[in-house]
Amino acid sequence: MIAPMTDDLYADVLDEDLIRPDGRPVAWTRTGSGTPLLRLPGTPGSRWSIRADRSAWTDRGLQVITTERPGYGRSSRLPGRRFREHSDDLAAILDHLGLDRVYLTGGSGGGPHVLAFAAHHPDRVVAATITVGLPPLEDHEYDAMIPLNAAAFRAARAGDEAGVREVLTPSYEAMQAGPLAGLEAAMKTAPASDLEVMSDPRWRLAQTKAIEAAFAHGMDGWVDETLAMGGDWADIDLTAIKTSLTWWHGVADRNCPFPAARRLVDKLPTATLRELGDLGHFEPYRREPEILDELLSRGA
């Protein structure tokens, strides 16, 4: 199904979906034409986790497909899911669109899903980029995170679904009252660079739409995703990843600790770590042209 948006800001964006064999709808947005770029948003995110200013995409002649994972937006929940399930959803989306191979990028909670897709469907990826991705964490690294993430991932590591839900509920309820309220409360101890990005009116406009869409049917998708990311990652075989991968990360990131990212990249022979300096989680928003150019350069 394709439904063009009537809102002028999103008039160039197509809202699409397909039905998987198990009956689940899986949705995404698509904008532009030309070189295909598959984007996996952060957590909590949705198919509307797209920039209000998309000139960095149009200037490079990109067809940008932004997906959403089970439980967010129009994409039905899949309780107990890990990473393999969504990687297969992504392959089905590419089949539906008639795309054999794509450039691949994902940020924050989209990071492990980039790894999963690259591991399970390596022939579909030209080159990949992860920005400020979430890596597996060691116990002492939770203390380096913002309090919301630390508490949620400790509960997830213990397999405590009720505990994860209890931690996330106040933020979810705040975001129901005002889409950015819960995020601002959670990020109040974040680096100054993150707070500066969060004050950008264009960022706020896009983030509001993304959050409203993500929670259209409740918070179950957020709970499921946190459990998956805090789990054992057993369905991501890092040795199967042969794709050229660049991982961008800020040293001061308090959502996804930098030392854990460096440790994970060291396990990936085709990956390169690029530091974003002593900056935080949202710095890639300001560096997108540079990040895209580096990604596209690896497709030659």
Q: Where would I find the beta strands (DSSP E) of 34-115?
A: 35-40, 62-67, 102-107
C-alpha 30/C-alpha 45 separation (Å) is: 15
- Average pLDDT on 278-287 reads 96
Mean pLDDT (whole number) for 239-248: 96
pLDDT at residue 300 above 80? Answer: no
Predicted structure pTM score: 0.95
Which pLDDT belongs to residue 8? 81
pLDDT tens digits along 2-35:
444 445 889 999 999 999 999 999 999 999 999 9
Over residues 128-139, mean pLDDT: 96
Spell 123-158 as b/e; 16+ CB within 10 A means b: ebbbbbbbbbbbbbbeeebbebbbebbbbbbbbbbe
* pLDDT score at 7: 57
Q: Residue 16's domain spans which residues?
A: 2-297
User: What's the CATH code of the domain at 136?
Assistant: 3.40.50.1820
Mean pLDDT of the chain: 95
User: What are the tens digits of pLDDT across the range 26-46?
Assistant: 999 999 999 999 999 999 999
- Structural domains counted in the chain: 1
